[in-house]
Structure 1
């Protein structure tokens, strides 16, 4: 369809309202959010797209045979051709899985393995890299020998610049779940989420609010706040209550209608969906979401998903589906305090964009391949990997284990090259930066961030495995990575692991 961006969005909105009125029309809840769900293809190398195994969001993976172990030898490899790989950290800066796992562990419940997405743990726990200069990205590769000869840990951090001291004006549209299942702690967390965001607003920011249960209601439209914790917004939050069924479809449609009505090309425009994940969303809504987030002639209206729990009955397939299409962040609140920790203290990381459509390219020496990848996916075909946005004050972290076809052929002088390409967030200017270092230089360099990354991965992978041995080994690694207990995040992980019912 041709026409202006606003015309195309309005057309999609009409289709959504007319074509899919609710849950029954949009899909069977037992079918998942889009009628089916993909399960990652494993941690094995190859030319096809590779994702982490067992990281489906909506349901447990079906049983299937493990890919056969392949013997990686130097025979047939071209010594003149270095492998070039394209990496993806995550589809939407998701950070929901670790907070869900934490809530379950504190209740003495083992997190289901398929809900533990390792790359989200790397997103959630902060690995400190030096900030890039304004408008640029900083690449930090680190490498460490593993216990097995020819095996190496390789971690790449891609860090943005810090948030601006004065941020741009915002138009925020809250789409709030007020169905009956939101009663109790989910509603308390939802209110805390809105209040935490409201605490960071400034005069002139615009807020819209739609609630949805069996029906939907427009609570605020074009409400211009007078500053932090605006009384009108606070009154709307205080009036929220839980009752009725779920009609997310029309709630989203009205939310986007308001977001479109009050859209500002120089503003940060976000739709913020908060739910306990027990609703469903049809194909029409996901197309609606995607149409507003697409990269048109101006920045789109991105969708941020906030899960309100509780974790023992939460279905995060909803938030995964909508944030994937909506190009926004996905967070989970395991407490009201978490709302303030993430939505106030990490506001820019959740809401803003520092670099658009970041593509990360890794060139390895001819004799190395990825043995295990802890990001979302990688491929030798750049077209298979969708570029991702990066927030200010944030870093994409790519951690992988690489293997040499023969330890004897490793040349410490051979280069490892990492290139990041991206667009500036508002002007769409194409930018690029490259870092190159020899294998020897990397092995002799710093490993502080790599060590923390490995400890976080050990925690997540132990939760997936669920054995006493894996859990105890992970705790030992976490403690060793945190001498003196100076890192509060690693200290928290060390306390959480023994809460697992299979730890002892």
Structure 2
């Protein structure tokens, strides 16, 4: 069986290591094919492994010496290395089956972290590293992939070699939904607005902007409720049927909102869900919109206990949208993040009234609708790969340890990770990679599946779509987690290398914000 040529990014590096470190391997580097290179089975097998180990053992089969040649000396290390290299780093790794990871990127519309960071940077402040969630940067800064056919989801896997680390590969997977269906489903929306004293100023101004922006997108027949809460709860609208966009009654109630008193978040959340459950209808999109600065200083203040209401309601199909209003320096990220995580809902942050328009007019369907419920994504890789770094929320080899999430229309879940081989010598371009997504429809709860199987070689050779931009976004977020002259400079250089003219507004914003970071070196 003819061996396929070894990965071009791996073999030269190994040759250099042999020559420089051991003084060996010169003859092997001069050959067209890598000696002892592993194979993953016959090229006509459709990419399936023959024996579960990725193919023939490293070194394969070699021709023995002729009858007139003496046998090789047992201590001839040159012959051992060149004719039969061993995957030293793979000792102890189970070669009998591929590795499967279950991954989660959090709800595809949780986007608070990058906007809160932007708010702080524009004030000349340093974002809190503990509040930088890289997967939310990938949600907020859009990476465009072709839309899936209506009612379906489409997978886009991309793989790139790491030039300076031959044992590593950068792997990005996008799960793209279909575009929003027109006309959309009728909605039952319950606004739960924090009117406690801490909301005075920018908080209440942004809260009003959020309600007004959503109201501009309502259709005739949508059912709307408005509950305010502080130290006490007040139902300002119930059973209100919207007349269409910019309903006068909704706008009048919104304009009249004032802030005062304490913050009983748990009581307010229960009041909002009680109203939402009263008007729940299976054929509609049922949504609770929580608008707050995240403060809780009256009643129960434990985030997990508060979040129980959101978690229970999600099981019934009442979806949560959490809108944080700031301002930046007093924003309570922990409670809002916990609430929306338990309820598997979106979490956004408003740093201005313009951002309310951006999120709830331009991106209305992404934040308010559901295309796929309880999405679970699994990556099945050759046995020699491990997860070096995952930039999503969570991953595991046990499916039960990763919570499924929801995906909106007009949107994509982006999973970015760095894979590491136990030894580059065992990598075979013909080895298969399978990505599988399972979800349920939001109304009928029907189970759906989509799957893509390809090979390492095909992924490496394919034209890259969203991966280069995704890497820039990840580098920016990671630099904010570990800020310093070197990390911020490298993130800026990567952004400019990708888009030197700053024609992409996303890249232009990233470069501008990096330059505002207090630790970025002055010119």
Q: What band does the TM-score fall into relative to the shorter chain?
A: 0.7 to 0.9
**8 Å Cα contact 1:92-1:324 kept in structure 2:** no
* 1:448 paired residue among 465, 471, 478: 465
Distance 1:80 1:321 in 2: 40
1:141 aligns with 2:157: yes
Count of residue pairs the alignment pairs up = 430
Residue of structure 2 in register with 1:363 after alignment: 380
1:393 aligns with 2:410: yes
**8 Å Cα contact 1:354-1:425 kept in structure 2:** yes
Residue of structure 2 in register with 1:96 after alignment: 112
1:168 aligns with 2:185: yes
Distance 1:426 1:457 in 2: 34
CA deviations over 1:449-477 (Å, ceiling 9, x no partner): 11111000100011111101111110110
CA deviations over 1:309-368 (Å, ceiling 9, x no partner): 011111111211211122211000011100010111111111111111111110111111
Distance 1:151 1:195 in 2: 48
Residue of structure 1 in register with 2:491 after alignment: 474
Distance 2:134 2:217 in 1: 30
For residues 116 and 226 of structure 1, do their structure 2 counterparts lie closer, same or farther at Cα, with a shift above 3 Å needed?
same
SS of 1:312 mapped into structure 2: coil
Distance 1:72 1:116 in 2: 37
* 2:307 paired residue among 286, 304, 310: 286
Residue of structure 2 in register with 1:403 after alignment: 420
CA deviations over 1:109-164 (Å, ceiling 9, x no partner): 01011011111111111111111111111000001111211211000001111110
Distance 1:466 1:150 in 2: 26
**8 Å Cα contact 2:108-2:412 kept in structure 1:** no
TM-score (norm 2): 0.80
1:73 aligns with 2:77: no
Of the structure 1 ranges 253-262 and 126-135, higher mean CA displacement relative to structure 2 is found in 253-262
**8 Å Cα contact 2:108-2:139 kept in structure 1:** no
Bigger Cα Rg: 2
SS of 2:156 mapped into structure 1: strand
SS of 1:80 mapped into structure 2: coil
1:122 aligns with 2:125: no
* 1:111 paired residue among 115, 127, 131: 127
CA deviations over 1:190-226 (Å, ceiling 9, x no partner): 0000011000001111110011112121111111111
Unmatched tracts of structure 2, length 5 or more: 1-86
Distance 1:245 1:400 in 2: 43
SS of 2:260 mapped into structure 1: coil
Shift in Å, 1:92: 6.8
Residue of structure 1 in register with 2:336 after alignment: 319
Shift in Å, 1:494: 0.8
Distance 1:92 1:322 in 2: 16
For residues 465 and 134 of structure 1, do their structure 2 counterparts lie closer, same or farther at Cα, with a shift above 3 Å needed?
same
CA deviations over 1:220-252 (Å, ceiling 9, x no partner): 111111111111111001101111111222222
Shift in Å, 1:288: 2.2
Distance 2:182 2:89 in 1: 53
**8 Å Cα contact 1:92-1:327 kept in structure 2:** no
Distance 1:202 1:354 in 2: 19
Q: Following superposition of structure 1 onto structure 2, how do residues 93-492 of structure 1 map, counting pairs within 5 Å? A: 93-146=109-162, 147-279=164-296, 281-282=301-302, 284-294=305-315, 296=316, 300-492=317-509
TM-score (norm 1): 0.83
Shift in Å, 1:483: 3.9
Distance 1:210 1:460 in 2: 36
Residue of structure 2 in register with 1:28 after alignment: none
CA deviations over 1:46-71 (Å, ceiling 9, x no partner): xxxxxxxxxxxxxxxxxxxxxxxxx9
Shift in Å, 1:258: 1.3
**8 Å Cα contact 1:92-1:330 kept in structure 2:** no
Distance 2:338 2:114 in 1: 18
Shift in Å, 1:93: 3.6
**8 Å Cα contact 2:107-2:407 kept in structure 1:** no
Shift in Å, 1:274: 0.5
**8 Å Cα contact 2:112-2:347 kept in structure 1:** yes
Distance 1:278 1:261 in 2: 27
Shift in Å, 1:72: 9.0
1:83 aligns with 2:99: yes
Shift in Å, 1:414: 0.7
